[in-house]
Structure 1
Amino acid sequence: MNERYPFLISIPHGGILVPAELRGLINLSRKEIIFNSDPHTRLLYGFNDRVEAVVDFDISRVFVDTNRPPYDYPPRAQDGVTKVITQDGTPVFRKGQVPGREVIAALLKNYYYPFHGQLTRALNTLPIRIAFDCHSMLPKSPPVRADSGRPRPIFCLSNRGDLNGKPKTAGGLVTCPPEWLQALARSFQTEFEGEGKVAMNDPFRGGFISVAHYRRSRVPWVQVEINRGLYETPDRETDEKRLAELRERIFSAMANFWDEISG
């Protein structure tokens, strides 16, 4: 197939930059910022030459998380659009330096809304048939979560539904048809046969990006999470060859899924 696949790829957590508005307030080292972002996802999902659109984000999710509602910020939320603590419980900001409403409003204006605007323009102007919101996850649930220490699947595919991709309640919202999510899971399981489980809506059910843009456009959305254990050592080292191999296999799983359901 020579033409581009009708996919929108969203990569909201691959950036590692600190916004200018927060410089001098941060309690984290560069290494900690990278760990608490989604390292290497811009490479793993960067299918720019093969899909209709790729939208990614330079700023670390620690400081501006585009997969959270814009009204979720401190002190109301510690894991909202601007984080107060990391996934291992480390304070993000120096003592007494947590940004207030005016600074967060500037972060939303300068970074958050432009990212969502790019997604909206792609959905409005390009022949997008399905969108993937692409992430990475730690091999085990981190200390800040209720299921701390629980091992995770190699991939989690989410549409806000149940473990089979179906609505959790009668008439409940799902951001992608259950049959599509099941077909996508089969395609990933085939591609990664023998390497681990591909799960649906466990441990993640999909976040703000998928829900908000599905509701507005009605284009199906799937949140994709890859287990960092597939490409990181326990010391967080990576192999460029392994990353490139995984990139091709992820795209193969997505493309084979689409060829099946659109054929």
Structure 2
Amino acid sequence: MTASNHLPVFSLREGSLPLLISIPHLGTRIPDDIAATMTPVAQRTDDCDWHLDRLYGFAQRLGASILTPTYARYVIDLNRPPDGANLYPGQDTTGLLPVDTFDKEPLYQDGHLPGEAEVARRRDAYWKPYHQALTEHLAALKAKHGKVLLWEAHSIRSHVPRFFEGRLPDFNFGTSNGASAVAGLAEALAGVVEQHGGPYTAIANGRFKGGYITRQYGQPAQGIHAVQLELTQITYMEEQMPYAYHEAAAAKVEPLLEKLVKTAMERVAAA
């Protein structure tokens, strides 16, 4: 399906394994009609999950299916509920249609905040197609394999005072406090990082417990197991503009990521 400027809303690379990697904040494009209402800061797409398709390059070689969007989270956030409900009640978060950046810089020009009709239009044009693809492919993988792992790939700056104090752990695994996947999965993955012997830190179901996709689609009793990894960007890239990919740093992280994905698949298969 395509949006108003005729680009595909998402890309789905189908693989052979019972594994779907979703990267819902990878997109960087903003349609011209929306960009015309936004501030210059919006064009930087600062809060994109930069380069994760490159960092997860091993996944395609393994045989994973990979789902990615074209458009930026500033257009609409694919990892938020369609009604815009706060996933972390009492905490500051950005919404279904973000109106400011993680640093609280306004995304829209004065008088151009999206109204209800625009929210509904973007939900139909961008949010629904991604989630339809997600739903349908998970069902297809489950029908073929009996069980499926949904790996939600995310990244974030290591310091974002708006959302958390101090430095975030490097590997933040979320399974909605154990509800979205086989028991103990997040803790087991954090243990893999700790045993790795590198400079990385890890936590299970800490500040990030999994967003809408993890919570909505993770149904372990029905054979669909979902885990979110929020990875600090400092582990593989420059956290400030121009957001450059760091080859040497990424080369150290990628083998660990591959081990984590394989460990999760083994745990799911044994469940």
Pairwise same-fold verdict (TM > 0.5): yes
Aligned: 1:7 with 2:19 = yes
Alignment counterpart, residue 36 of structure 1, candidates 31, 35, 47: 47
Partner of 2:232: 227
Q: Does 1:119 align with 2:134?
A: yes
Q: 1:234 to 1:220 in 2, by over 3 A?
A: closer
- Matches for 1:110-189 after TM superposition, within 5 Å: 110-126=125-141, 127=145, 128-140=147-159, 142-145=160-163, 147=164, 149-161=165-177, 165=178, 174-189=179-194
1:190 counterpart = 2:209: no
Paired position in structure 2 for 1:248: 255
Identity of aligned residues (%): 24
Q: Deviations over 1:71-127 (max 9, x none)?
A: 118xxx972111011100100111111111222212111111110111111111123
For 1:203 and 1:159, how far apart are their aligned partners in 2? Answer: 12
SS at match of 2:184: helix
CA 1:31 to 1:63, structure 2 compared with 1: closer, same or farther past 3 Å?
Answer: closer
* Paired residue type of 1:247: E
Give the equivalent residue in structure 2 for 1:168: none
User: Contact 1:132/1:224 (CA < 8 Å) preserved in 2?
Assistant: yes
Which of 124, 127, 139 pairs up with 1:109? 124
Could you tell which deviates more after superposition, 126-135 or 240-249?
Answer: 240-249
Deviation at 1:233, TM superposition (A): 3.6
Question: Cα offset for 1:188?
Answer: 3.1
1:30-83 alpha-carbon deviations (Å, 9 max, x no partner): 6631x211111122234223234111111111221010011118xxx9721110
Contact 2:16–2:65 (8 Å) recurs in 1:
no
Task: Mark the runs of 5 or more structure 2 residues left unpaired by the alignment.
Answer: 1-14, 86-91
- Could you tell me whether the CA contact under 8 Å between 1:210 and 1:221 is conserved in 2? yes
Structure 1 gap segments, 5+ residues each: 166-173
Are the aligned partners of 2:149 and 2:268 in contact in 1 as well (CA < 8 Å)?
Answer: no
Q: CA, structure 1 residues 247+78, in 2 after alignment: closer, same or farther (shift >3 Å)? A: closer
| Further displaced range: 151-160 or 41-50 | 41-50
Please state how far the C-alpha of 1:229 moved relative to its aligned partner: 1.2
Q: Which amino acid aligns with 1:121?
A: E
Q: Is it true that 1:206 corresponds to 2:210 in the alignment?
A: yes
Once the two structures are TM-superposed, the CA of residue 7 in structure 1 deviates from its matched residue by 1.2
CA distance in 2, matches of 1:257, 1:108: 32
1:259 Cα deviation after fit: 3.8
1:45 aligns with 2:51: no
Kindly indicate whether residue 108 of structure 2 is the aligned counterpart of residue 93 of structure 1. Answer: yes
User: How many corresponding residue pairs?
Assistant: 242
TM-score (norm 1): 0.82
Q: Which amino acid aligns with 1:102?
A: A
Partner of 1:64: 76
CA distance in 1, matches of 2:105, 2:175: 30
